[in-house]
């Protein structure tokens, strides 16, 4: 019974460990990117890190405040080896994942949806506007509808 309880506790702690490792990779990669001298890389924000269960690969999603997203993605993927080497020095885990950078379009989509909502609200009839008037100019009552 003791062995099974330890094994079950270990299995439950594995997801928490991968979240902690992903969080640490996110912080460290953000710091390491600041040290890059590539002019194609502007102001980059790391929005999420997803790690495979075997820690072999990490998908790093980023957004850019300045610069071209596609150029930044190419530059970051070219610098992935350098960034991974920097992670080796910072992380104390057996396997440091191979880094794969992907542009995160979430902020763009949010801005588009916000613009659509604003447009829909501007075309909406105000709540206090008369619904429709009767032929005599008096409002219809609800029973006649």
* Domain containing residue 18: CATH number: 3.30.300.20
Please indicate, yes or no, if residue 136 is contained in any of the structural domains: no
User: What integer pLDDT is reported at residue 92 of this predicted model?
Assistant: 84
Confidence tier at 82 by pLDDT (50, 70, 90): very high
Number of domains in the chain: 1
Q: 111-114: list long-range contacts, CB under 8 Å, 24+ apart.
A: none
| Residue range of the domain that includes 83 | 2-123
Confidence tier at 131 by pLDDT (50, 70, 90): low
CB-facing half-sphere around the CA of 139: CA atoms within 13 A: 5
Token reading at 96: 């440091």
User: What integer pLDDT is reported at residue 5 of this predicted model?
Assistant: 39
Please indicate, yes or no, if residue 128 is contained in any of the structural domains: no
């Amino acid at each position: 019974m003791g062995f099974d309880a330890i094994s079950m506790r270990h299995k439950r702690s594995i997801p928490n460990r991968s979240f902690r490792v992903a969080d640490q990779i996110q912080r460290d990669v953000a710091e390491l990117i600041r040290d890059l001298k590539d002019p194609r890389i502007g102001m980059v924000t790391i929005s999420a890190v997803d790690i495979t269960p075997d820690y072999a690969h990490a998908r790093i999603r980023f957004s850019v405040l300045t610069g071209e997203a596609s150029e930044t993605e190419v530059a970051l993927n070219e610098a992935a080896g350098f960034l991974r080497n920097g992670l080796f020095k910072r992380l104390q885990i057996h396997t440091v994942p191979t880094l794969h950078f992907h542009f995160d379009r979430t902020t763009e989509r949010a801005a588009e949806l916000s613009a659509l909502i604003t447009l829909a609200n501007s075309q909406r009839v105000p709540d206090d506007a008369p619904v429709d008037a009767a032929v005599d100019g008096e409002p219809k009552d609800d029973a006649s509808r």
